[in-house]
Structures are given as C-alpha cells and as structure tokens.
Structure 1
Amino acid sequence: MDGVKGKVCVTGASGYLASWLVKRLLLCGYHVIGTVRDPANDKKLAHLLKLEGAEERLRLVKADLMEDDSFDEAIMGCEGVFHTASPVIKPSFDPKAEILEPAVKGTVNVLRSCKKNPSLRRVVLTSSSSTVRARDDFDYKIPLDESSWSSIQLCEALQVWYALAKTLAEKAAWEFCNDNNIDLVTVLPTFVIGPSLPPDLCSTASDVLALLKGENEQFQRHGRMGYVHIDDVALCHILVYEHDAANGRYLCSSTVIDNNEMVSMLSARYPSLPIPKRFVQLERPYYEFNTSKIRSLGFKFKPIEEMFDDCIESLVEQGHLSLHAADRRPPS
C-alpha cells in the first residue's frame, strides 16, 4: 500500500465498476466514503467490507440519485469525488423516467453537493465511449477521439437509451462545472470486462456470461465493440484524479474488435465452452478509438485475452460458470 492519502467519495459504491474502484483506492491509501442506497444491506455490501483496508478507511453512507441534497454528507470534506453511479437497466416502460432522468438529475445532484464543499479539488465522472460513437457523420478512416460527441437525435431515433443518458449526463456535468468553477475530468470506458466483486452480476457481466453459455443476442446487436479491463478503468480514474495536468475527457479502451474476431479468440482459449462460432454480419460503421490522450499520461492497457481470462476465472470462482479440466486458464 502507498502512504495514507486524502479522503475521497465514490458514488454508487456497490456497483460493478465502483466496487473495483473502491478496492483500488483503498490499496492506494485513500480514505473512501462510499454512497449506497441502503447501508444496512449486509448481503449486498459484504464484498466491500471485506476489502483490504476497508475496516480502517471505508465508510458507507446512504444517498439517492433522485433526492436533492442527498450527497451532502458524503461529499463534504472530501478532496475528490468519483461519480460512477448511473442507471444501466434496460427500460421496461418509460425510458425517460427510468434511465434519462436519474442519469441527468442524479449527476447534477451530486455536483450541487460538490459545489458546497470547500475542500473539493477535483471531480472524476464515469461517462462512456457511447457518448462518442453514436453518430453517422464520421470518417471511418480517422479514429474517434475525445472531441467527438454522440448525436442526441440519432440516439433518440435508434432508441439507444443508455448512450443518450450518458451523453446528456456528461453534457450536463460539463455545463454545471464550467458555470461553477469545478475541476471536472471525465473517463469514457468501452465495454468493461473483468472480475466481478459483487456476488450479483450486473447487466454487463450477465451479458458476458450469456455469451460464454452460447447465447449471442446481447452481442449480436453491437457488431463491433471496444473492450477494456475493469482494473484498467479503475486505475485510469485514479490516474486522472492524481495527475495535476489531466483535463477534459479521456477515452479508456484497450482494443476495438468485431464480434467474430472476439468469439474466435475465446473459442480457441476455451474450447469446452459453447461460445457462438459466428455472428451474422450487421451493417455497422467501422470505427477505431484514438486513446493517445490517456496513453500520453503513461497509461498502458491490458490485452483483451487477459481481461476475458480474469472475467472467466471470476465467474467460475463465484459458481456462475463451469469449466472442463482441459480448459485450465491458458497462458497470456
């Protein structure tokens, strides 16, 4: 562990990515205030309380994205705030009420609490690469970078509510922080792969598990996608928080590949798993990501093989997946 550092807040601390970020922050020596919906839910929070350093430097407090002033207690006195909390559920009836409003209003609520805190040094917001790539007017020969913004009109037309929510939430965050002189940095991860600390799988991990069990529905609609290790996303958040010169947006992606490339790699590494052999080729725009901005800070990404190996090992350990003896973890 590094030397003991300052106090930071992580919103939505029990989530898939947030849990890993809390783990990394504790290992770095930070005092962490994590916001959760129900601090008394021992079953849902047990994985956080078992983390190294949690007993001494982790405190969980109640907060709700849709309640005004809900984050005041958690954020007051913190030097840094990592806002990771955001709804990722698939809308069942009213996407505006279920995803868009909590994402945008929740982000502004957190930032209002940040504004009240004289100790605040920087806010790091977890955005998404979907705020960059949902557009139909880019040149596929030029990799997308942080200057690109997804088209709100296209997101609405295609009903890609997650991308729309993330785009509107990040834009609202920049507007609020620019108006109120708050130092904001945003991190834009691609599809996050890796070990899951919470026992209940989030939608992302569930989609990966379904793929490993032979289902292709969730991945079929993507066609081509960027991937990044969950540990890299957490480390990227900490890097841009600690690096004084960090500013603006940072794409966080190890690689971008087509579905068929991805399942070919996985099938070769795990031949006993009923991974789909091929996907129907969809007419999706070809794109790459330019991640030179985060790499310029010295960041190096783990390869896609490692992220899936770590993910599968975690799914096996938690009892979600079974492997044959012949499918021992291959060397990277």
Structure 2
Amino acid sequence: MLDPAVKGTRNVLEACSAAGVQKLVVVSSIGAVCFNPSLPRDRIIDETCWSDKKSCKENENWYCLAKTEAEEMALEYSEKNGLHVITVCPALVLGPTVADCATQHQQQSSPLCHESFGCNPGGPDAIGNTFFPIVDVRDVADALLLVYDKAGPSERYICSQEQMDTKDFLDLMKSMYPNYSYTFKVVDVDTRVGLTSEKLKKLGWKPRKLEETLVDSVESHEKAGLVDDEPCRLPYLYRVPDAQE
C-alpha cells in the first residue's frame, strides 16, 4: 500500500514538473489527519494536525500511514520545486454512484461510495461508537474545483460535510429507512474526535445537508442493485423481504 501511494504520487508530481504543469490538486484523506493518539481529547482537528506515523506502524494502519507519507511528500515537493500543490483530505465519502453522478447508461458503483457504504457480508456483531465524519462525493468534486481556483500553494484542506457518532448516524438511518434491518449492536468506546472544515468553508465551500446525501445514496445504490436481500451493502443493514417474497 505504501509504494503505490508514495511512489505513485511522486511520479505524478515529477511528471507535472516535466510537463510544465502550473497547479496540482492532490486528494489525500482524513486518514492522514486524525490517527494521532497523542492529540488532546478536546482538540478540534484542523489542517495543522497529522496522523502519527509511529502509531500507524505500531497498529499496522498502513492506509493512514500511506496517506500521511504521500501527502507530506507532496507538500514538501511543492515547496522545494515550485509546483503549486494543494491537498484535500476528504472524510468518508457517500453519495450517488458514478453512473448517477455522470448520467451514464452503465450502472457502476463509485469506489469511494462503495468503500464508505460497504461492509463484509453479514456485518460485524458489534461496532464501536466512534465518530463518523461524512462528505458527499459531489461536494468533494466542488471542493476540488474550488481549491484549484482559489487556494494558495502548499495549502491543505479538510473536506468533511458533517460528523456524528456511529450510533447517531444509525439512528438517523433507521428513522429514514425503517424497513431495513440493522443487525448488530453499537458499543461505546473511548474515542471521540472533533473535525472542522472551516478553512474550506471560508473559500466558499457549501456542502449539502446530510439527509440529502443519505437519500441520494440509498436510492442510487438500490437502483444499481447494490442493496438486496443479501446482508449489507449499506452500512450494516439489509432489506427485510415482504410477506409475498
């Protein structure tokens, strides 16, 4: 996971320099921001925060480590080589599938949407009540265009529409979609993180409401056939067959 993230990013940076590209937006992740046990519990996570690489290695969190090293390298490259690089760190990306976003004929699931919605068949027996930062895939696209137009070089932006505890997120899903069955229990854990996207909002970013994202996500995934009687393509839920089925 490290080589594609770090070496792949460097290859793109060097190719941009060789081609005379003036500006580049790099999509990172909140995985490069939030995984740092040494941060104070009451600290609001902003763009000055970075995941702790030592902790990532100790916990074998290779995704966060790869994202952290790749983003650090991209920003350092920007400062040393004069390439105008901006990084954006999205939260968990929900929203319509690629087919719906692009009004294509072929139904296919966006990797970002699918990864955020997906879980292993059957789901876990229990899930920790940790924070659940969310952003709509369409709002991520808006953010990328916005920072390309307005952000300065070597700037970093968190892109998170809203966040809540896992329990609150599932309670909202249950209230909106009571006909699905939610098959696991939520257990309290000693982890809470506050995240802010004020820096991006000051550029003019206006994310949509969470309810709109959830409705469009569910309807899009149902339309694409990604939600059925099999346990769970949406967050830890599956459809309950009606009496005739």
Please indicate the TM-score interval, normalised by the length of the shorter structure.
Answer: 0.7 to 0.9
Paired position in structure 1 for 2:133: 226
TM-score normalised by L of structure 2: 0.83
After TM superposition, the structure 1 = structure 2 runs for residues 1-332 of structure 1, keeping only pairs within 5 Å, are: 99-118=1-20, 120-197=21-98, 199-200=108-109, 202=111, 205-206=114-115, 208-210=117-119, 215-216=123-124, 220=127, 223-243=130-150, 245=152, 248-276=155-183, 278-284=185-191, 286-322=192-228
The 2-side partners of 1:304 and 1:214 are apart by 26
Kindly tell me: are residues 244 and 128 of structure 1, through their superposed partners in 2, closer, same or farther at Cα, counting changes over 3 Å? closer
The 1-side partners of 2:110 and 2:17 are apart by 34
Greater CA drift, 171-180 or 230-239: 171-180
Measured after TM superposition, the shift of residue 266 of structure 1 is 0.2
- How many residues align structurally? 224
The 2-side partners of 1:175 and 1:226 are apart by 27
Tell me if the contact between 2:86 and 2:147 (Cα under 8 Å) persists in the aligned partners. Answer: yes
Letter aligned with residue 289 of structure 1 = L
Tell me if the contact between 1:189 and 1:253 (Cα under 8 Å) persists in the aligned partners. Answer: yes
Measured after TM superposition, the shift of residue 142 of structure 1 is 2.9
Residue 133 of structure 1: SS of its match in structure 2?
coil
Kindly tell me: are residues 224 and 276 of structure 1, through their superposed partners in 2, closer, same or farther at Cα, counting changes over 3 Å? farther
Q: Deviations over 1:250-284 (max 9, x none)?
A: 00001121110111000110011112464122222
TM-score normalised by L of structure 1: 0.62
The 1-side partners of 2:214 and 2:47 are apart by 26
Measured after TM superposition, the shift of residue 158 of structure 1 is 1.1
Residue 148 of structure 1: SS of its match in structure 2?
coil
Measured after TM superposition, the shift of residue 201 of structure 1 is 5.6
Tell me if the contact between 1:272 and 1:324 (Cα under 8 Å) persists in the aligned partners. Answer: yes
Tell me if the contact between 1:195 and 1:310 (Cα under 8 Å) persists in the aligned partners. Answer: yes
Letter aligned with residue 232 of structure 1 = D
Q: Which has the higher strand share?
A: 2
Letter aligned with residue 202 of structure 1 = P
Q: Which runs of 5+ in 2 are unaligned?
A: 100-107, 229-238
Paired position in structure 2 for 1:77: none
RMSD: 2.5
Letter aligned with residue 226 of structure 1 = P
Measured after TM superposition, the shift of residue 137 of structure 1 is 1.9
Measured after TM superposition, the shift of residue 313 of structure 1 is 0.9
| Runs of at least 4 residues off by over 4 Å | 244-247, 322-326
Letter aligned with residue 139 of structure 1 = P
The 1-side partners of 2:27 and 2:153 are apart by 15
Tell me if the contact between 2:78 and 2:153 (Cα under 8 Å) persists in the aligned partners. Answer: no
Q: Which runs of 5+ in 1 are unaligned?
A: 1-98, 327-332
Tell me if the contact between 1:263 and 1:276 (Cα under 8 Å) persists in the aligned partners. Answer: no
The 2-side partners of 1:192 and 1:274 are apart by 23
Residue 180 of structure 2: SS of its match in structure 1?
coil
Q: Deviations over 1:151-171 (max 9, x none)?
A: 000111111111111000001
Kindly tell me: are residues 252 and 186 of structure 1, through their superposed partners in 2, closer, same or farther at Cα, counting changes over 3 Å? same
Measured after TM superposition, the shift of residue 228 of structure 1 is 0.5
The 2-side partners of 1:277 and 1:304 are apart by 23
Measured after TM superposition, the shift of residue 172 of structure 1 is 1.1
Measured after TM superposition, the shift of residue 310 of structure 1 is 1.1
Measured after TM superposition, the shift of residue 205 of structure 1 is 1.3
Measured after TM superposition, the shift of residue 297 of structure 1 is 1.0
Q: Which has the higher contact order (CA 8 A, sep 6+)?
A: 2
Measured after TM superposition, the shift of residue 214 of structure 1 is 6.2
Amino-acid identity (%): 28
The 1-side partners of 2:157 and 2:135 are apart by 13
